[in-house]
Structure 1
Amino acid sequence: MPSMILSLETSSPVCSVALHRADDGQLVGQSELRLEKSHSSHLSVLVSQLLENTLHTLQDVAAVAVSDGPGSYTGLRIGAAAAKGLCYALDIPLIAVNTLAALARQVAAATVPTENLLLCPMLDARRMEVYTALYRPDGTEVLAPTPLILDETALAEQMAHHRLLCFGNGAAKLRPLVQDQSTVGFLAGIEPSAVAVGALAVEAYKRAEFRDVAYYEPFYLKEVYTTTPKAK
């Protein structure tokens, strides 16, 4: 009987896969690659190597989880296509995990919770904009995922009543704008990981929170803007 949850994380330049046991959530294995624009050519290889290294096959996979976004439009499309293809081929359910919630889960697992602490994952959305959300250490959502333009007033109301812990590849843009550093902490080196996606996916699997494989689309959060090259 299939007993594993395979998780894919492609929302950032890091291409990451993980395998968890569906019954108790134990991490069985993980693999990641840090190469720009490598997702389309390396994701399937990472999956195959992970299964081989952990002595499993695709027939052991009970569900596929994918990082839902927000994040890189191209990366999310690649992850969604791979996850849907596997679910179709294996006739197994699809689980979508919010990227910001997974980032918060990573930090919460290594953070001593305090009463007024809020976790603030931030993903770079170019220029002075980020994708962000706010969570309590127990995972409770305080501010739903949203695009946020950073300036001196960004998250000022939340900072007035809580201590924020900011992380992710967009957090560094906020740091020079914060006048009272005592209300905000910053963690460097926190990147999206399939391990955190899988941890949340195990919980969703037990609740049977599955997505429609035929109609699933990633959570882009913003419309994607494209430009037409100018004629020479």
Structure 2
Amino acid sequence: MNRSAPVVLVHGFATSAARTWRDNGWIDLLQDAGREVVAPDLLGHGSAPRPQDPAAYDALESTLAAALPPGPLDAVGFSLGARVLLSIASEEPERFQRLVLAGVGANLFRDDDTEVIAAAIEGREHPANPIAQYFRGLAEAPDTDPAALVAYLRRPGHRPLTDDGLARIACPVLVVLGDRDFAGPAEPLLDRLPNATFVSLPGVDHFATPKSFSFIDATLDFLDAHPG
């Protein structure tokens, strides 16, 4: 495995670097392989500031970009973390030498259930939407602030990913998606990235992805096979 670049790990919505990466063994495995690991908490999550004003979250991507090492970087993102990395890489493709994106696909280009999820976190029931109920459960963890999570979901400056921006990401990209993941299929994302490969995780849904040994193995193999 190439050891020259730090590996950035970016967690998903309503969780944290500790819960997504450390608890599932990622940080230890990468450090054992000799890699420097950078695992920040996104604004509103974990140990990061937790503003309750939706407008504060317009700066989520730029705040993370400013906190990262200058590059070149390897980066692994799950769900929201993958979307944030795509947004940064669309603006600054030269900062990345390899990207691993998990738990994203067609969901990046369609209307999502953000308001349904926000309402569920606030305690308004949506029993027919298991995704919203799952995120409500995540938001009830001791290290979360439900009001901050709702503020993120309602931020006014949400910027969609564009075909032109994604086409600028020339580095090798690995897209990993469980075949039971609501974020799929993967093809709409793969078709927009010029240098992407795909790994499917049989029998894995969205929420089991970070703990999937197949995801971990595919990422380690990808980082090793594409030296910077």
TM-score w.r.t. structure 2 length?
Answer: 0.35
TM-score w.r.t. structure 1 length?
Answer: 0.35
Structure with bigger gyration radius: 1
